[in-house]
Chains A and B, each alone.
Chain A
Amino acid sequence: MKISELIINNIRNHSHTELSVDSGLNIIYGLNGTGKTSVLESIAIAAFTKSFLPVSDASVINYEKEFYSVVVKAVSDLGIPYWVKVLYNKGLKKEISTTAGDKLLPKAIIGDMPVVILSPDYKSITFGKPEDRRQFVDRILSQASKLYIDDLIKYRKVLKQRNKLLKEAKLSGRYDFKDIDPWTNLLIDKGASVVERRASFIKEFAPKFRDEYEIVAGGKEVADINYVPDGIEEENLTDNISKDEIIEIFRKNYQELKDKEIRRGSTLFGPQKDDYKISLDKGAAKENASQGQHKSLLISIKFAEFKFLKEKRNETPIILLDDVFAELDRERTAKVFELIRNNAAQTFITVTEPEGLKKVLDSTDDYSFFSADAGTIEAVEL
């Protein structure tokens, strides 16, 4: 997929920005606060219907404005035109339209324009909380499979509803299984679907991640990623674990935990507590990896994400690199450019200072520079 045009209205300090893009590599430079990252955020909004940063929709809107909108025009690998428009009015539902139609739900468009993002915020994938890793996997899987989004959204809804009932039961001291059982059944059913899909995802993803790490780190050590689903013993997590087997395990876990659930007033089992273990030479990377190894792990995991999505969607993902080169040494920077060149992936890069990057580019690269200043973006020759 390649973006040809980007129109941004009222996103952060952009009041109206129109960008025609005709290069593969697009480098946006400028000081902090000039609106570089907002361009990447706008692309993320067009792809996921929300920013990749942990912010609310309202906080993305330009100060004192009532709405934001993003329009992206793009062309698929096969040359088919695609456009998407996301409009958000404060306090209202987002209005989403694409080539496929109007009034679409977010889940209908996520994955249409696959995007892989590398940002300093994602360091937490390799050494942060389980939540950060879940979010990482959910974002990939949501782009790869509409069925996954559907199951995940439904699971979250059931979980919320069931927690409300348990909390009320705890407060009132009255616990009626007749009321809670249907929620428990649906929780287990939808939860098992989510776990089954996550397990089969990791089975496919792990070899890709191992390969990428070997390339990035030069084979000095072996990296791996494993799925650690809540309440399922390692020996039960076979390669082809089925939904029915997971349901059975969940039923057992529920029986063991139900008294505790009543005392605590909340759900105590299920995929909302899953984790993924990233390891180096069998040791947990979280505790054992050096700073440099963490960087290699993060790049490899993102490369693997790129390859996985490319394979699943049959479409080259767009790469967004938010201010990452300040953190990468020359060798790792070269690896990133190798991936971009080998796949002819359209890439958007933000940097504060363009000189360093210019050295990495060579004459065969198809690139453009854009300068950002106070919410305006201008194409420049460098």
Chain B
Amino acid sequence: MRIPAEQWARLLSIPVFLAIWQLVAGLELVNPLLFPPPTVVVKAFFDYMLHGDGVTDAGWSIARVVIGYSAGAVVGVVIGVLTGGSAILSGLLTPVFQLLRPIPPIAFVPIVIVWFGLTELGKWFLVFWGVFFTVWLATHMGVQRVTETLVRAAQSLGATRWQLLWTVQLPDALPVIFVGLRTSLSIAFYTLVAAELAGAYAGIAYRLEVTQQNMQIGHMMAGLLMLGFISTVSDRLFQSASRRLLHWST
């Protein structure tokens, strides 16, 4: 049985990446303290997970992402459907959202402290902020760009506005909405860096900050590796779930 070339490429992707990294780090073209080889990072990773705070940190970070992401996704879809379906609401809200959308969550840290103090709510809000706009925009555009023929067909069959939205516009927009939901899943992990910057006692991004202060770059990169790993696993799970839910579009 022959393994296709693309499968070979996939199998070799990460080992080749690690080999190049090890080689470049081994050449010491840059200071190995600042750019440690993967062997050092993997050792730091196991140290972090087995003897350090890796499990606790991962628990806190995942909880923050799950809560912030869920809230941002639900609110983003609801508002996106409303602005996508109503020209008045779109006119009212879109300029404000477009103005706020580019503001990075990290710039919001001092304002979030003033609003929420150093509570978990503030950390969830920062993740929410990162997720909401992407989901809202995808939903808004998905609903607005629904296939015209389907809308006309439904209208000619006497569909009410609610029926039109629920049975035509939303199912047709779902593939676009899911692209937004998937993209924002990665964004949720980016925003952890901002969310765990102020007043956190645990969390992967919090530990990144501490290890960077201590110039323990190997441990810092182990934290990044863990963030990347959790983010990849969640992306895969999301992809698999979306294939089942959107069976008609795949």
A, B in one complex: no
> B residues engaging A (CB < 8 A)?
none
> A residues engaging B (CB < 8 A)?
none
